[in-house]
């Protein structure tokens, strides 16, 4: 039987719309100090450091090179993953499973407020020959995808709006969420049009923040934490990179990543075995699409489940109790970190007013965002 990998310490900042008083390096330092303190370690005890950065959003070239200093990674193995935090978590898990590393630190951050041309930055993910010269926006792609999702009768427009209502309300109970609010379905439908049928409130607003986690081997876990959270499975996948050749109704990469994580975790029936889920909701309909891709609901049923309250706190499968991206904020490559963070708090019974009762298995899912098709999934347990 392979050794298990634990999350033994977490550190994080608040997630805010802007953070003028802190640089991206200071955000990383704040989160790192908290994580090390919780695990009772110092940077010299760490065997490997993993930064998560696409090097676009920090307002500084090769920004990950500076994060190493704030993590204390002097003369230590360090690497950067140009993906989501869950991709980095998977690498950290594999480091520990080699039995060459007992303690690994994984970091991610967002300093989106430093970037004044985010739409242009996102468009770098479009095909440079076929799509980028058309000068379309990522949200135009979202509008096309959402239209297709609705046309295939996978959900109604009001069910998509119900995702926004739920997640922003959930965020009101999360002290580190940036965008908690009481909104109605009519507020969502009547908000500023972005790309039909996507409206302003359907879109997760940008946020700043940082998360650092300490991973360790099973043998060390009792000495670092009296409440370790175990990484039972991870999965990742990418679908077609081009708009012309992708599946427009289903999130294929999410399904493949989820199946990989389920297999590693030994989960045969996700809808019965998963107690809560934190999934990507960058655009409202994406939460429904991702829930179905993850086999947590049958095709066309996630919207009805949301409408009926089954994905709300107290429902049969609470989804994005943290507030998700719509309530916490869109954190780019740190998005998966926020979702894993929420699961750790829930599985340790430390989520306060939003605590899910009897939570023992949680799922976190990340997606790199429009217009990409790269996804990652992690299954955690207490």
Read off the pLDDT of residues 243-283 as tens digits, 9 standing for 90 and up: 888 889 999 999 999 999 999 999 999 999 999 999 999 99
CA distance 214 to 234: 17
- State yes or no: pLDDT of 182 exceeds 60: yes
Give the Cα separation of 65 and 194 in Å (integer): 36
Question: What pLDDT is stored for residue 64 in this prediction?
Answer: 67
Confidence grade of residue 130 (pLDDT, cut at 50, 70, 90)? confident
pLDDT value at position 1? 43
76-126: pLDDT as tens digits: 999 989 899 999 999 999 999 999 999 999 999 999 998 888 888 888 888
* Order of strands, sheet of 48-52, starting from the edge strand that comes earlier in the sequence: 78-81, 48-52, 103-111, 208-217, 5-12, 229-238, 374-381, 361-367, 276-278
75 vs 304 pLDDT, higher one: 304
Q: Is 18 helix (H, G, I), strand (E, B) or coil?
A: coil
Asked whether the predicted pLDDT for residue 69 surpasses 50, the reply is yes
Sequence-ordered strand ranges (E) for the chain: 5-12, 48-52, 78-81, 103-111, 193-195, 198-199, 208-217, 229-238, 276-278, 361-367, 374-381
Residue 288 has pLDDT above 80, yes or no: yes
pLDDT of residue 280: 98
In this prediction, residue 147 carries a pLDDT of 96
Q: Among positive and negative, which fits the CA dihedral 93, 95, 101, 107? A: negative
CA separation for the pair 178, 172 (Å, rounded): 9
> Considering the chain, what percentage of its residues have pLDDT values greater than 90?
81
Q: Is the pLDDT of residue 51 over 70?
A: yes
- What one-character DSSP code corresponds to residue 82? S
Express each pLDDT in 160-169 by its tens digit: 999 999 999 9
Question: DSSP assignment of 252-312, as one string?
Answer: HHHHHHHHHHHHHHT-S-HHHH--EEE---SBHHHHHHHHHHTTSS-TTTHHHHHHTTTTS
pLDDT band at 60 (very low <50, low <70, confident <90, very high): low
Instruction: Please state, as a whole number, how many other Cβ atoms lie within 10 Å of the Cβ of residue 226.
Output: 9
What pLDDT does 128 receive?
87
Using one digit for the tens of pLDDT, what is the confidence trace for 188-207?
Answer: 999 999 999 999 999 999 99
pLDDT in tens, 295-304: 999 999 999 9
Nearest 10 degrees: Cα torsion 94, 336, 57, 82: 30
**pLDDT score, position 58:** 67
pLDDT for 2: 63
Check residue 17 and give its pLDDT. Answer: 96
Length of the chain equals 382
What CA–CA distance (Å, rounded) separates 156 from 167?
17
For 367, counting Cβ atoms within 10 Å of its Cβ (0-12 exposed, 13-18 middle, 19+ buried), the class is buried
pLDDT at 137: 84
For the cut 90, the answer to whether the pLDDT of residue 59 exceeds it is: no
Domain layout of the chain by residue ranges:
5-116+206-224
Q: How far apart are the first and last CA of the chain?
A: 19
Q: What is the CA radius of gyration of the chain?
A: 19
Element housing 8 (H / E): strand 5-12
CATH code for residues 5-116+206-224: 3.40.47.10
Q: How far is CA 311 from CA 82, 168, 170, 198, in A?
A: 32, 14, 11, 22
- Kindly tell me the burial class for residue 175, based on how many C-beta atoms sit within 10 Å of its own C-beta (0-12, 13-18, 19 or more): exposed
Q: What is the mean pLDDT of the chain?
A: 94
């Amino acid at each position: 039987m392979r050794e298990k990998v634990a999350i033994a310490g977490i550190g994080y900042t608040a997630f805010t719309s802007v953070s003028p008083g802190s640089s991206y390096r200071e955000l990383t330092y704040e989160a790192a100090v908290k994580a090390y303190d919780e695990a009772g370690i110092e940077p010299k005890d760490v065997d490997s450091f993993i930064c998560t950065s696409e090097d676009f959003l920090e307002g500084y070239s090769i920004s990950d090179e500076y994060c190493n200093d704030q993590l204390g990674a002097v003369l230590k193995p360090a690497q950067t993953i140009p993906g989501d935090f869950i991709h980095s978590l998977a690498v950290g898990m594999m480091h520990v499973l080699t039995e060459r590393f007992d303690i690994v630190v994984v970091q991610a951050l967002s300093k989106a407020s430093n970037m004044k041309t985010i739409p242009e930055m996102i468009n770098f993910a479009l095909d440079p020959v076929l799509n980028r010269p058309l000068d379309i926006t990522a949200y135009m792609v979202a509008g096309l995808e959402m239209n297709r999702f609705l046309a295939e009768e996978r959900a109604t427009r009001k069910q998509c709006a119900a995702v926004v209502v739920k997640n922003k309300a959930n965020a009101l109970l999360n002290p580190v969420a940036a965008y908690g609010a009481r909104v109605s379905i009519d507020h969502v439908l009547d908000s500023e049009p972005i790309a039909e049928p996507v409206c302003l409130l359907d879109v997760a607003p940008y946020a700043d923040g940082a998360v650092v986690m300490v991973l360790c081997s099973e043998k060390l876990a009792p000495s670092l934490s009296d409440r370790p959270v175990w990484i039972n499975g991870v999965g990742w996948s990418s679908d077609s990179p081009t708009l012309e050749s992708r599946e427009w109704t289903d999130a294929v990469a999410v399904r493949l990543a989820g199946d990989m994580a389920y297999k590693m975790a030994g989960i045969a029936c996700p809808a019965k075995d998963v107690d809560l889920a934190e999934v990507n909701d960058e655009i409202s309909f994406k939460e429904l699409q991702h829930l179905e891709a993850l086999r947590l609901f049958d095709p066309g049923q996630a919207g009805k489940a949301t409408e009926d309250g089954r994905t709300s706190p107290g429902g049969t499968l609470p989804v994005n109790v943290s507030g998700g991206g719509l309530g916490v904020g869109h954190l780019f490559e740190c998005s998966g970190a926020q979702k894993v963070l929420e699961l750790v708090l829930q599985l340790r019974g430390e989520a306060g007013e939003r605590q899910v009762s009897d939570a023992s298995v949680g799922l976190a899912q990340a997606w790199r965002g429009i217009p990409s098709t790269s996804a990652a999934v992690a299954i955690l347990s207490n």
